[in-house]
Amino acid sequence: MSDYDLIQDPLSLPKGRWVVSLSLVLVDVTVLFVAFLGGIGVRRWLLGGGVSWEMYLRLWPFLGLFLVYFALLGLYPGTGIRAPMEIRKVVYGLTTGFVTLASIAFLTKRAELYSRGAFLLSFGIAVLLLPVARLVARAFFSRFSWWGEGVVVLGAGETGRMVVNALQRESGLGYRVVALLDDDSRLWGKKVFGIPVEGPLSLSPEYAARGVRYLVLAMPGVPAKRLVEILESYGATFPHMIMIPDFFGGPSLWVHANDLGGVLGLEVEQKLLRREALWVKRMLDWGLLLLTIPVWVPLMMVGAVLVKLSSPGPVFFWQERLGVNGRRIRVCKFRTMYVNAEERLQEILAEDPQLRLEYEQYHKLREDPRVPSLGKFLRKWSLDELPQIWNVFKGEMSLVGPRAYMPNELEDMGDLAPIILKVWPGITGLWQVSGRNRLSFRERLRLDVYYVRNWSIWFDLYILLKTIKIVLLGEGAY
For 65-81, what is each residue's pLDDT tens digit?
999 999 999 999 988 89
Does residue 332 surpass a pLDDT of 90?
A: yes
Cis peptide before 84 (omega within 30 of 0): no
Handedness of CA 416, 418, 422, 425 (dihedral sign): positive
User: Using CA atoms, how far apart are residues 394 and 424, in angstroms rounded to an integer?
Assistant: 12
- Considering only CA atoms, which of 327, 375, 368 is closest in space to residue 349? 368
Residues of the chain with CATH 3.40.50.720: 148-248
Contact present, 161 and 192 (Cβ < 8 Å): yes
Query: Which pLDDT does position 331 carry in this prediction?
Result: 96
pTM for this one? 0.80
Greater pLDDT, 180 or 53: 180
List, in sequence order, every residue forming a beta bridge with 328; answer none if it has no partner: 322
Contact present, 42 and 121 (Cβ < 8 Å): yes
Does residue 7 surpass a pLDDT of 50?
A: no
User: Between β-strands 426-428 and 214-217, what pairing exists: parallel, antiparallel or unpaired?
Assistant: unpaired
Does residue 174 surpass a pLDDT of 80?
A: yes
Per-residue pLDDT, averaged over 121-143, amounts to 93
Per-residue pLDDT, averaged over 268-287, amounts to 84
Q: Which residues, other chains included, contact 321 with Cβ-Cβ below 8 Å and sequence gap of 6+? A: 328, 329, 330, 331, 404, 405, 406, 407, 425
Query: Which pLDDT does position 255 carry in this prediction?
Result: 77
Q: Which amino acid, residue 165?
A: N
* pLDDT digit string, tens, across residues 394-434: 999 999 999 999 999 999 999 999 999 989 999 999 988 88
Contact present, 464 and 83 (Cβ < 8 Å): no
Query: What confidence category does residue 477 fall into, taking pLDDT thresholds of 50, 70 and 90?
Result: low
**Least confident window among 19-33, 312-326, 330-344:** 330-344
361 half-sphere exposure, CB direction, 13 A CA radius: 12
Contact present, 101 and 59 (Cβ < 8 Å): yes
* pLDDT digit string, tens, across residues 335-373: 888 777 677 777 777 878 887 887 777 777 777 777 788
pLDDT, the chain, mean: 85
Determine how many CB atoms are found less than 10 A away from the CB of residue 409.
15
CA-based radius of gyration for the chain: 26
CA distances from 399 to 89, 130, 331 (A): 23, 22, 13
**Least confident window among 34-48, 179-193, 302-316:** 34-48
Handedness of CA 305, 309, 312, 316 (dihedral sign): negative
User: Using CA atoms, how far apart are residues 213 and 220, in angstroms rounded to an integer?
Assistant: 21
CA 309 to chain centre: 37
Query: Which pLDDT does position 44 carry in this prediction?
Result: 78
User: Using CA atoms, how far apart are residues 289 and 274, in angstroms rounded to an integer?
Assistant: 23
* Burial call 163-202: b when 16+ CB within 10 Å, e when fewer: bbeebeeebbbbbbbbbbbbbeeebbeeebeebbbbbebe
238 half-sphere exposure, CB direction, 13 A CA radius: 28
Q: Residues of the chain with pLDDT > 90: what percent?
A: 46
Does the domain spanning 148-248 belong to CATH 3.40.50.720?
Answer: yes
**Least confident window among 33-47, 155-169, 359-373:** 359-373
Query: Which pLDDT does position 10 carry in this prediction?
Result: 37
Query: How far apart, in Å, do the first and last CA atoms of the chain sit?
Result: 42
Best-predicted range by mean pLDDT among 11-25, 179-193, 233-247, 431-445?
179-193
Query: Which pLDDT does position 111 carry in this prediction?
Result: 53
Does residue 205 surpass a pLDDT of 70?
A: yes
Query: What confidence category does residue 3 fall into, taking pLDDT thresholds of 50, 70 and 90?
Result: very low
Per-residue pLDDT, averaged over 193-200, amounts to 94
**Least confident window among 33-42, 187-196, 279-288:** 33-42
User: Using CA atoms, how far apart are residues 249 and 126, in angstroms rounded to an integer?
Assistant: 35
Does residue 243 surpass a pLDDT of 60?
A: yes
Does residue 1 surpass a pLDDT of 50?
A: no
User: Using CA atoms, how far apart are residues 222 and 124, in angstroms rounded to an integer?
Assistant: 50
Helix axes 457-473, 116-141, angle to 10 degrees: 70
